[in-house]
Amino acid sequence: MSPSIIERIVGPRVGPEETARHSLRYGTPGFLLLTARVLLLVSLFLPYWHMELQAPQYPDGLHMTAHLNSLSGDVAEIDGLNHYIGMRSLYEAAELERDIGVFLMILFVVLLEFAAYIHSRWAVLLVLPVVFFPVVFLVDLHLWMRHFGLNLDPHAPLSNAVKPFVPTALGKGGIGQFVTIATPGVGLMLATAASLVLIIALFFHRRAYLPLVKAQRASAA
């Protein structure tokens, strides 16, 4: 009897005796998926991005920190400087992303929870959004900074002194006498570590369950 669509998606089940006999083979994918979930949950409470602005009038520099759902630090002072060159307030950037950031991370954790019970290739579809999240975060950050830097207000006090530019999302940049240093936060590092753990988890997942899937297909045939 051929398996149903649900059975094909969920994949073959492993009995308790077989699991006990090969605990490392079948336990490793679940352990790695659990590790990734913990890393993501911890990252929720940590900064994802830092930016320091250095200028002669600020000997200690100005510092801004971005969490998934908020901005903190010297945002008002940086906005005041940006106003003179015609750049919009940093609070206007990624408003939707900050509104849904925490919920998106919780969704990722739920997807990984489901992936631990899927013993077929469909588990990849649940894991891939989480794997690519750090890259998407940085690309989204770059696009917002590019949009703000290339669309300066022509009526700003110093609009004639500054040409449109693209601020750096990571690394050192700046314009005129201002220097910016952008660095990833611990939260982003943990999310990146979770992505690497998930890639390893997919390898062990395939090694553990692909033979069972093939045996299931052969039996159905």
Show me where the domains of the chain are located.
47-220
Task: Tell whether the model's pLDDT for residue 1 goes beyond 60.
Answer: no
Maximum CA extent, the chain: 77
Strand order in the sheet with 49-55: 71-73, 58-66, 49-55, 178-184, 171-175
Whole-prediction pTM value? 0.91
Under a CB-based contact definition with an 8 Å cutoff, are residues 204 and 28 in contact?
yes
pLDDT 10s digits, 138-195:
999 999 999 999 999 999 998 788 889 999 999 999 887 889 999 999 999 999 999 9
> Which ranges constitute the DSSP H helices of the chain?
5-10, 16-21, 23-43, 75-85, 95-115, 123-131, 133-150, 186-220
CB atoms within 10 A of CB 4: 9
- 157 φ/ψ angles, rounded to the nearest 5 degrees: -55, -40
Task: Answer with the residue of higher pLDDT: 134 or 2.
Answer: 134
Distance CA 150, CA 165 (A): 6
List the beta bridge partners of residue 175: 178
Q: Which residue type is seen at 99? A: D
pLDDT for the residue 3 = 63
Confidence of residue 12 (pLDDT cuts 50, 70, 90): confident
Strand pairing class (49-55; 58-66): antiparallel
Strand pairing class (58-66; 171-175): unpaired
pLDDT 10s digits, 115-140:
999 998 999 999 999 999 999 999 99
Distance CA 183, CA 180 (A): 10
Distance CA 136, CA 142 (A): 10
| Residue 134 three-state SS | helix
